[in-house]
Amino acid sequence: MSDEDSSRFLDFYRGSGVARGEDFPIRSLEVSETLIAAQTRPEGYRLGGSPRGQAIITAVNVALALRTPLLVSGEPGSGKTQLGYAIAWELGRPEPLKFTTKSTSVARDILYEYDAVRHFRASQTGAVVDVRDYINYAPLGLAILLGSPLATRRHFLSPAVFEESHDADLLPVQAELHRLLRAEAPRQAVVIIDEIDKAPRDFPNDLLDELNTLGFRIPELQGLQTPQLEVGLRPIVLVTTNGERALPDAFLRRCAYIHMTYPTGEELDDILMSRLGGVFDEGSIFRRDVRILFERIREADEMQKPPGIAELIQFLQATAALGADPNRSLADQRMIALDAAPLLAKSQGDQAILIDAIASVPPARR
């Protein structure tokens, strides 16, 4: 697809004031299945042998050996959350249980929630109800249950979890979770507590109590109490922060810590290749040029919000969908890069800087 073709492809809204009909289709940018799979597979997360990669690997192993939470800081898109998925994959644990922190979160939210309103409404119908159908377990609560024997776990779970015939109606992730909850053997789980700096001030210290106890009581189930977990079944906990505000000293003292700096050069190339495999493979001239442009923009430190790796990957996804030729230079395909520019720059000033940077990319040597 040429630069002109890519511009014509983005031809939904024309700004002409002429209606195109209520049935006019809006086509999504088609990204190959290979590219989508590469984005989500944890086995593609490679840290390599650089000092940055070795520092991350060491911090993970220290946290595992001491059975302490690992606090991971870094700018958005630096790979903090994906690290949790990579740890679970390499250690043969189930897919991580992820809790995304909100400004209203309290520590109990990471264990379970009880839907009292729905339970009350169901009880008013006169039908026989099971209170367990109205208890939803959050990531840490699920991790504690997964680490408990099945005979104990059964008392906490809705009978529906044990009806395998219902799995077909569930999303694949939920069906796999039900399979694990039905399993005889207990499993160690990985829990990701994402963006803890967005939580209220008391949340981190209250969370420490939950992580120390690793058990909970449910008043709605006549005070049913989870058993103490065996040491080897205690969940592996990874906590991420964007550094938007300081965390309490008491919380920091209890965590192992690593800061995810941005990779550069060959290390960044390796990350992009692992995420964009099958589209921008090793030797791709276009991917190399985009990576150099990305590094130049960040080093110049002129943008109000410099793009992160997640945005760079999304940008490359879009250029692939728009037909960028992996073996042609960025200079030869400027219009495609400009079409995808809104994914890298998120303010008027930053977009002007990015457009100038793309325009100033030198032509490829012939």
| Same-domain status, 57 and 121 | yes
Indicate whether 298 pLDDT > 80: yes
| Three state DSSP letters for 39-58 | HHCHHHCCCCCCHHHHHHHH
Indicate whether 6 pLDDT > 50: no
CB 74 within 8 A of CB 244: no
Indicate whether 7 pLDDT > 60: no
DSSP state of 307: -
Indicate whether 40 pLDDT > 60: no
Task: Give the total number of structural domains in the chain.
Answer: 2
CB 10 within 8 A of CB 336: no
Classify residue 57: in a domain, yes or no: yes
Classify residue 22: in a domain, yes or no: no
- As given in the structure block, the two tokens for residue 199 are 């939580």
| Same-domain status, 175 and 204 | yes
| Same-domain status, 106 and 243 | yes
| Same-domain status, 133 and 253 | yes
Closest CA to 76 of 271, 232, 310, 267: 310
| Same-domain status, 133 and 63 | yes
pLDDT tens readout for residues 125-150: 878 789 999 999 999 999 999 999 99
CB 234 within 8 A of CB 67: yes
Q: What is the pLDDT of residue 100?
A: 92
Of the residues 236, 259, 282, the one at which a domain ends: 259
Classify residue 21: in a domain, yes or no: no
| Same-domain status, 147 and 283 | no
| Same-domain status, 84 and 174 | yes
| Same-domain status, 36 and 73 | no
Average pLDDT of span 31-53: 65
pLDDT tens readout for residues 11-27: 787 888 888 888 887 76
| Same-domain status, 236 and 288 | no
Q: What is the pLDDT of residue 323?
A: 87
Q: What is the pLDDT of residue 4?
A: 46
Classify residue 365: in a domain, yes or no: no
Task: Give the separation between CA 169 and CA 186, rounded to whole angstroms.
Answer: 25
pTM, two decimal places: 0.82
| Same-domain status, 154 and 279 | no
Domain CATH code at residue 165: 3.40.50.300
pLDDT tens readout for residues 196-220: 999 998 899 999 989 999 999 999 9
Of the residues 259, 275, 300, the one at which a domain ends: 259
| Same-domain status, 268 and 243 | no
Determine the structural domain holding residue 286 and report its residue range: 30-41+263-359
Q: Find the farthest-apart pair of alpha carbons in the chain and give their distance in angstroms, rounded.
A: 80
Indicate whether 65 pLDDT > 70: yes
Of the residues 205, 235, 259, the one at which a domain ends: 259
Element (H, E) at 190: strand 190-194
Classify residue 6: in a domain, yes or no: no
The average confidence (pLDDT) of the chain is 87
Q: What is the pLDDT of residue 286?
A: 93
Classify residue 299: in a domain, yes or no: yes
pLDDT tens readout for residues 220-267: 999 999 999 999 999 999 999 988 788 999 999 999 999 988 888 888
Q: What is the pLDDT of residue 107?
A: 87
Q: Which residue has the higher pLDDT, 5 or 248?
A: 248
pLDDT tens readout for residues 73-116: 987 767 888 899 999 999 999 999 999 999 999 988 999 999 99
| Same-domain status, 73 and 138 | yes
Backbone φ and ψ of 193, nearest 5°:
-105, 105
Classify residue 122: in a domain, yes or no: yes
Classify residue 4: in a domain, yes or no: no
